[in-house]
Amino acid sequence: MRTEVNTDMKLRTIRRHIGEGTRNIFRNGWMSIASIGAVTMTLALVGVFMAIVLNLNEIAKNIEKDVEIKVFIDRLATEEDIEDLRGEINELDTVDTVRFASNDEELLSLAESMGEQGEAWLLYQQDNPLNHAFIVQTIEPTDTEPTADQIAEFTSVDNVNFGKDVVENLFKFNNFARNVGLVVIIGLVLTAIFLISNTIKLTIMARSKEIGIMKLVGATNGFIRWPFFIEGMLLGVLGSIIPISMILFGYSFLEKLLVEQIHFRVIELLPFNPFAWQLSLVILAIGTFIGVWGSVMSVRKFLKV
Amino acid sequence: MIKMKDVHKKYKNGVSALNGIDIHIEKGEFVYIVGPSGAGKSTFIKLIYREEKASKGSVVINDIDLGTLKEKEVPLLRRDVGVIFQDFRLLNKLTVYENIAYALEVIEESPKHIRTRVMEVLDLVGLKHKARFLPDELSGGEQQRVAIARAIVNNPIIVIADEPTGNLDPDTSWDIMQTFEEINTRGTTIIMATHSKELVNTIKKRVIAIEGGVIVRDEDRGEYGYEA
């Protein structure tokens, strides 16, 4: 035999593979369109779902962040006792912030929260019936209940309140929603992989004759594989263009609609920058990966012949 | 050049295609392989370019034992063996020029050399003026000549042709045979499986007849020996 197998690829050959992979997309016309269509449809679904699930997760996180423990201090506690209590609470590993709210502040906020009728409460200013309190936030929202239980045991504590029923249900619901979202996204990505790699497999099966001829004239497996690799990558990238545009335009439209027109401040979406860009990158990465993987796996089958 | 010793080939489905072939073909010979359908001609040919592996015995091509040839070295063997089929096996989406150039691109020849060499072989097979045509735009004979050009562009030491005139009319077949003879006179070994009694009996060469997977006849300047 004349030569050794050439393992260092020449620049010319790399250029050829890229050119060949690109030309193949045009040569295979409808099959390429079918592959790109499959990539587009599934990635659009994945993208929309990811945007919804990640935003729901963010909303849940924000609600959870607002969960706080109100520690009512024994009315007989001295200033020294109160400082000791603050120290004890601060020493807990799960605690993030501790804020003191005097009974005057509590009365004011109670009065404010009740609007005009609340003014009556201000009559109590001279003889305030409320307790001083600490407002405690935990690092992890899920630590709220055990932390509250611990604080309740401390001396100088009259009562501890964190809206037990509401918080428990909120956490349960959020966990459920997160798990369902995760399962749906994984399911969609797997469906995308299956659908896209099958479509690509079909386009390559239609070209088994081509691969046979390549082998016949002495092409190495690597030489045959490269253009398919490039082609798969391009199919993935082309297939991600529409889903990415959808995400970028759709998201910016939705954000404007919620924030500017309806003044919808209760539900705050993840900010367009960087979220929409990050999501677009993820979609591009999934598309590229699936395109390459689908084509390389399909060619491998024919190279064994 | 080509040496086979006690070669057997049994396929996975249990069919024994070859049952003890011993043969020696020298460099530069022109050999017809004849025999009835299913005799083992195609299997014999496939062993030479390592499309199939012998189940028993040894096949040595140009001092390389194909029994011990590694999978990754098969492409290198194929560059020394040009193969031509009855159905041409051209890539329909590539032009005549591209179909031939492909065989040189895979061995990473320079574009300049590829251009010169492709035009040379197109000239040899008389199709220089159709370089930009697609295979579908050519007649059967022209397509077969493109396949021949592709097989020889690499200067192989052996050209194998499996029924190359099977799909062609008699006039075109003679033209194709002339092309093979010209290639042969340049020193390339030619092995041709054929069912054409007229070709074998008119252009006299060595004839190897295979029946039931064994060689039943091996004659210099032999006859076809079967009813067409």
Q: Give the ranges where chain B is alpha helix by DSSP (H).
A: 41-48, 74-78, 96-105, 111-124, 140-152, 170-185, 197-202
User: What is the rounded CA–CA span in Å between residue A92 and residue A148?
Assistant: 11
Contact yes or no for B75 and A213 at CB 8 A: no
Domain map of chain B by residue range? Answer: 1-14+26-80+156-228, 90-155
d(CA B71, CA B94): 28
A-chain CB neighbours of B108 within 8 Å are 6, 10, 12-13
Q: Compute the average pLDDT of residues A134-160.
A: 83
> Are A66 and A268 spatial neighbours (Cβ–Cβ below 8 Å)?
no
What pLDDT was estimated at residue B148? 94
CA-angle at B219, arms to B213 and B222, nearest 5°? 105
Q: Which residues of B touch A209 (CB under 8 A)?
A: 89
Query: Residue B59: is it exposed, middle or buried by C-beta count within 10 angstroms (0-12/13-18/19+)?
Result: buried
CATH superfamily of this structure's domain B1-14+26-80+156-228 = P-loop containing nucleotide triphosphate hydrolases (3.40.50.300)
Query: CB–CB of A5 and B79 under 8 A?
Result: no
Compute the distance between CA of residue A152 and CA of residue A219 in angstroms, rounded to an integer: 77
CB neighbours of residue B167 within 10 Å? 16
* pLDDT tens-digit profile, chain B (228 residues): 899 999 999 999 999 999 999 999 999 999 999 999 989 999 999 999 999 999 999 999 999 999 999 988 999 999 999 999 989 999 888 899 999 998 998 888 888 999 999 999 999 999 999 999 999 999 999 999 999 999 999 999 999 999 999 888 888 899 899 999 999 999 999 999 999 999 999 999 999 999 999 999 999 998 888 876
- Confidence at A175, pLDDT banded by 50, 70, 90: confident
The separation between the first and the last C-alpha atoms of chain A, rounded to the nearest angstrom, is 22
pTM above 0.80, yes or no: no
Q: For the residues A179-204, what does the mean pLDDT come to? A: 79
pLDDT tens track for A13-51: 888 888 888 888 888 788 888 888 888 988 898 888 888
The predicted structure's pLDDT at residue A193: 76
Question: Apex CA A297: angle with CA A293 and CA A302, to 5°?
Answer: 150
Please answer yes or no on whether B64 and A216 come within 8 Å at the CB atom: no
Question: What ipTM did this prediction achieve?
Answer: 0.84
User: Which are the contacts of A53, defined by CB distance < 8 A and separation ≥ 6?
Assistant: A181, A182, A184, A185
Tell me the percentage of chain A whose pLDDT exceeds 70: 90
Dist. CA A240–CA A285, nearest whole Å: 9
Q: Does the structure show a pLDDT above 70 at A9?
A: no
Considering CB atoms only, which of B93, B106, B108 is closest to A217?
B106
Cα-Cα-Cα-Cα torsion A50, A55, A60, A63, nearest 10 degrees, comes to 170
CA distance B37 to B44: 13
Chain-chain contact of B106 with A220 (C-beta, under 8 angstroms): yes
In terms of average pLDDT, the best of A31-40, A180-189, A231-240 is: A231-240
What's the rounded Cα separation, in Å, for the pair B42 and B34? 10
* B209 secondary structure, DSSP code: E
Chain B partners within 8 Å of A215 (Cβ): 75, 78
- Interface with chain A: mutation pick from B78, B150, B155, highest number of A CBs within 10 Å: B78
- Out of A13, A212, A217, whose CB is closest to B103? A217
Reported confidence tier of residue A142, pLDDT bands at 50, 70, 90: confident
Helix spans in A206-271 (H): 208-216, 221-256
CA distance A240 to A280: 9
What pLDDT shows up at residue A4?
A: 54
Q: Give the gap in angstroms from C-alpha B66 to the nearest C-alpha of chain A.
A: 12
Residue A53, pLDDT > 60, answer: yes
Which residues in chain B touch residue A227, judged by CB atoms under 8 angstroms apart?
A: none
User: Is the previous residue joined to A227 through a cis bond, with omega within 30 degrees of 0?
Assistant: no
3-state secondary structure of A99: strand
Mean pLDDT of A199-208: 75
Tokens describing residue A241: 């263009």
**A114 vs B9, residue with greater confidence:** B9
What distance in Å separates the CA atoms of residue B219 and residue B160, rounded to the nearest whole number?
19
Spell out a b/e string for B95-133, using b for 16 or more CB atoms within 10 Å of the CB, else e: bbbbbbbbbbbbbebeeeebeebbeebbebbebeebbeb
User: Three-class SS of residue B218?
Assistant: strand
* Domain residue ranges of chain A, discontinuous segments joined by +: 11-63+171-303, 68-161
Q: Please name the helix (run of DSSP H) or strand (run of DSSP E) that holds residue A285, with its range, or none.
A: helix A272-303
Residue of higher predicted confidence among A163 and B125:
B125
Give the pLDDT of residue B160: 96
pLDDT grade for A1, boundaries at 50, 70 and 90: low
Query: Is B79's CB within 8 Å of A2's CB?
Result: yes
Classify residue B60 as left (phi > 0), alpha (psi -120 to 50) or beta. beta
For A68-161, CATH number?
3.30.70.3040
How far, in Å, CA of B154 to CA of A2, rounded? 11
- Identify the three-state secondary structure at position A158: strand
b/e per residue A225-241 (b: at least 16 CB within 10 A): bbbbbbbbbbbbbbbbb
Instruction: Give CA separation, A199 vs A36, A233, A235, A304, B37, in Å.
Output: 9, 14, 11, 21, 39
Label residue A262 by pLDDT band (50, 70, 90).
low
Nearest to B87 by CA among A220, A218, A212: A212
pLDDT value, residue A6: 52
CB atoms within 10 A of CB B171: 9
- For residue A5, is pLDDT > 60? no
The span from the CA of B76 to the CA of B73, in Å, is: 5
Arithmetic mean of pLDDT, A228-233: 88
DSSP state of A286: H
